[in-house]
A and B are shown apart, each in its own frame.
Chain A
């Protein structure tokens, strides 16, 4: 066997192994860092109090959180959202495939961190946003969707994805 070939036989498994290691060991949250900003889809819905909400109502910096009374994980992230709202982060709820009675009862029971919750029983706005279930969260800056995560909001996701973007937006203003 010639030398370059023997070299290749040793090298090839190393290349293949490192390729799979890179793919498999990537942090689950990091995939959310790759996000192409897009415009907020235009919509006209009501909030849970029956007040009309349009896409233009969501100006400035808003955290949009998709939730439902049937969603168990939403209950898990609820204390963290409450903490964010105490820190003056404006959180808009997107109540997804739910009934307004159950949703309002849920907020009454667990506390309401949202400035208001858009009522989307059929999931129309959610569909246009690319929501796959609940909970999910989006960051809106001046009607642009600039971040999207699936699953519960955690300290880690907040610090690595959302907070730097908010900070940047605040500093450029």
Chain B
């Protein structure tokens, strides 16, 4: 009886393994593989409130991962791939928005905020 239970448990673990659900992305070049995984963690899932396409199994995220995979294999650069995605899904899709236009506010506001606080702090000490 214990033996049967053991086999049932083993079978359960094997068949419920997420390996069956994941599409394996095969790479010949480890550098490409590294780029693929870093890219999919930097592209936001358009269907989720917050989360990368790497962490999402929404149909659109699956399509995006497949597309990124194809583009990496075909030799597109990171910049080209991100442009490809944002042309279709908007700059919203990029977790690292480019340093241009209105995005300057986004990138620089933490520093401005820090200096304002620091200025207040030091002027307070002088009094």
* Chain A interface residues (CB < 8 Å from chain B): 1-2, 5, 8, 38, 97, 123, 127-133
**Chain A contacts of B89 at CB under 8 A?**
130, 132
Determine the main DSSP class of B at the interface with A.
helix
> Is A1's CB under 8 angstroms from B59's CB?
no
Given contacts A130-B88, A132-B46, contact A1 B124 (CB under 8 A): yes
Determine how close the nearest CB of chain B comes to the CB of A126; give it in whole angstroms: 9
Determine how close the nearest CB of chain B comes to the CB of A98; give it in whole angstroms: 12
Which of the listed residues A97, A128, A129, A132 has the most CB atoms from chain B within 10 Å of its own CB? A132
Q: Is B99 an interface residue (CB 8 A)?
A: no
Complex alpha-carbon distance, A116 and B47, angstroms: 27
Complex alpha-carbon distance, A130 and B91, angstroms: 12
* Chain B interface residues (CB < 8 Å from chain A): 46-47, 58-60, 63, 67, 87-90, 120, 123-124, 127
Complex alpha-carbon distance, A2 and B126, angstroms: 10
Given contacts A1-B127, A97-B59, A123-B63, contact A132 B47 (CB under 8 A): yes
Determine how close the nearest CB of chain A comes to the CB of B53; give it in whole angstroms: 11
> Is B120's CB under 8 angstroms from A131's CB?
no
**Chain B contacts of A38 at CB under 8 A?**
87
> Is A129's CB under 8 angstroms from B88's CB?
yes
Determine how close the nearest CB of chain A comes to the CB of B95; give it in whole angstroms: 16
**Chain B contacts of A5 at CB under 8 A?**
120, 123-124, 127
